[in-house]
Structure 1
Amino acid sequence: MISRQLSFDLPVRAALGREDFFVSPANAMSVVLIESWANWAGNKLALIGPRGAGKTHLAHVWAATSGARIMPACDLEGADIPALAQGPIAIEDVPGIARNRAAEEALFHLHNLVLAEGHSLLLTADRPAMLWGLGLPDLSSRMQGTQAVTLDQPDDRLLAAVVMKLFADRQLSPSPETITYLVTRMDRSFAAAHDLVAALDRESLAQKRPVTRALAAEVMGQRELPDLLDNSGQ
């Protein structure tokens, strides 16, 4: 008898509106700067934070407000730079093009043209500009001279909000008790939240079970005393 069903990698639709972004002390300054983008020093901003911190989400919030385009840095090589410079633009994961001479030169020219046209430039990365490893000195100096703001690792309230949003993006709705169980036991990082929610989604599908505290305990490799579980497994 087959006890586990086949699971499929269905697309996860992330909610990327401003109303979907939870503000806490860990990201409040980033939100303020994104919302006051017309006042950026030199018309540019570097948004720094670990994987899953909300950089892409805030880039979409900014794009919805400013009319900006969003492009991965790795797609700049061979792109029509003059056309891209005709409006505000967000370039994601800049460290990903380190030592790619063609992509670095493209970003260098885009940087200069966007600002010359009076538009704004948003850059995202997982570490400060001095650690991006860019090989083009002129580009590196311009990136290091860019105003930057950091998304810090989450506090309890933000981590709970992130976990709930990640579940909602997957059309899952665990109980508040399950969220609390996860937040008090998981590694305290955005990356851990993404990985844990994905693992619970996979197991929920495979075992044909809802995401409960009992399933969370199994996935996290922990065991609960029987009297801690109610009849619903929550």
Structure 2
Amino acid sequence: MTSRQLIFNLPVRPALGRDDFFVSPANAMAVVLIEGWRDWAGRKLALIGPAGAGKTHLAHVWAAASGARIVSAADLAGADIPALAQGPVVVEDVDKISGNRAAEEALFHLHNLVLAEGHFLLVTAAREPHLWRLSLPDLASRMMGTQAVTLDQPDDRLLAAVVAKLFADRQLMPGPETVAYLVARMDRSLDAARDLVARIDREALAQKRPVTRPLAAEVMGQSELPDLLDMGQS
């Protein structure tokens, strides 16, 4: 029986630079707009996409390029809005403050002050602005009037690149056959990729084994047998 070792929850440091962001048809338009941010209509942009699609990564890329500060929409109610408005700003997860009157009013004032000062504003959300259900009409109208770009669910090329990056963030370098095996069988979302890589990492540590295709199959609850049978029939 394979011995299992104690696992420590060491911090994982994701790489969030532009060179670490893989461009595919699923996100190409968003990348073009982020890189061409000085030409945003009205000096603002809404970055839309499902959880784990890369919104935070692109927000950090833009913040590094523009010098913007990054803040969660839920934290705006307690923020120093005039101070924030002295430069470009990223506001994340705007769709999560629906019905939070204090946060909505803070975002409304931040939006107006940032633009009045001649700076740029990037907001992120999981859905399009007309679905945010903001209770403050003036804020809702301004958000719906914001240019938006959508990050789609990942295609195979993007998913493979993300899986490889998630492993690299953990200082792991599985072979391309292992990555291809995972991409062909995993749920089609970046959140699923993050969870799967974490589970494989934990199991590799516990069993003191390298990250290989057989280990990946074990973690996914699958057997190599079907693949071997398929090969024999080809």
**1:69/1:88 contact within 8 Å kept:** yes
TM-superposed deviation, 1:8: 2.1
CA distance in 2, matches of 1:103, 1:21: 31
Query: Aligned with 2:198: secondary structure?
Result: helix
CA distance in 2, matches of 1:227, 1:218: 14
In the superposition, the TM-score normalised over structure 2's length comes to: 0.93
Q: Which amino acid aligns with 2:207?
A: Q
CA distance in 2, matches of 1:224, 1:179: 15
The equivalent residue for 1:123 is: 123
CA distance in 2, matches of 1:72, 1:211: 35
- Structure that is richer in helix per residue: 2
CA distance in 1, matches of 2:175, 2:122: 37
The equivalent residue for 1:231 is: none
Deviations 1:167-222 (A, max 9, x none): 11111111111001001111111121111111111212222222111111111111
Query: Aligned with 1:46: secondary structure?
Result: strand
CA distance in 2, matches of 1:185, 1:227: 12
**1:47/1:150 contact within 8 Å kept:** yes
In the superposition, the TM-score normalised over structure 1's length comes to: 0.93
Q: Which amino acid aligns with 1:81?
A: I
In structure 1, stretches of 5+ residues that fail to align are 229-234
TM-superposed deviation, 1:133: 2.3
CA distance in 2, matches of 1:226, 1:33: 44
Q: Which amino acid aligns with 1:190?
A: L
Deviations 1:140-181 (A, max 9, x none): 111111100000111111110011011111111111110010
**1:129/1:143 contact within 8 Å kept:** yes
| Distance of aligned partners of 1:57 and 1:227 in 2 relative to their CA distance in 1, 3 Å threshold | closer
CA distance in 2, matches of 1:4, 1:133: 49
CA distance in 1, matches of 2:165, 2:226: 29
CA distance in 2, matches of 1:148, 1:186: 29
TM-superposed deviation, 1:3: 3.0
Instruction: Indicate the percent of aligned positions where both proteins have the same amino acid.
Output: 79
Between 1:218-227 and 1:120-129, the stretch displaced more is 218-227
CA distance in 2, matches of 1:155, 1:105: 38
The equivalent residue for 1:84 is: 84
CA distance in 2, matches of 1:62, 1:72: 16
TM-superposed deviation, 1:51: 1.2
1:1-234 superposed matches below 5 A? 3-225=3-225, 228=228
Query: Aligned with 1:70: secondary structure?
Result: strand
TM-superposed deviation, 1:12: 1.1
CA distance in 1, matches of 2:73, 2:8: 30
TM-superposed deviation, 1:226: 9.2
Q: Which amino acid aligns with 1:221?
A: G
**1:50/1:191 contact within 8 Å kept:** no
Matched residue count = 228
RMSD over equivalenced CA pairs, Å: 1.6
CA distance in 2, matches of 1:144, 1:44: 12
CA distance in 1, matches of 2:216, 2:74: 36
**1:62/1:68 contact within 8 Å kept:** yes
The equivalent residue for 2:231 is: none
Between 1:195-204 and 1:15-24, the stretch displaced more is 195-204
The equivalent residue for 1:232 is: none
**2:2/2:207 contact within 8 Å kept:** no
CA distance in 2, matches of 1:61, 1:85: 19
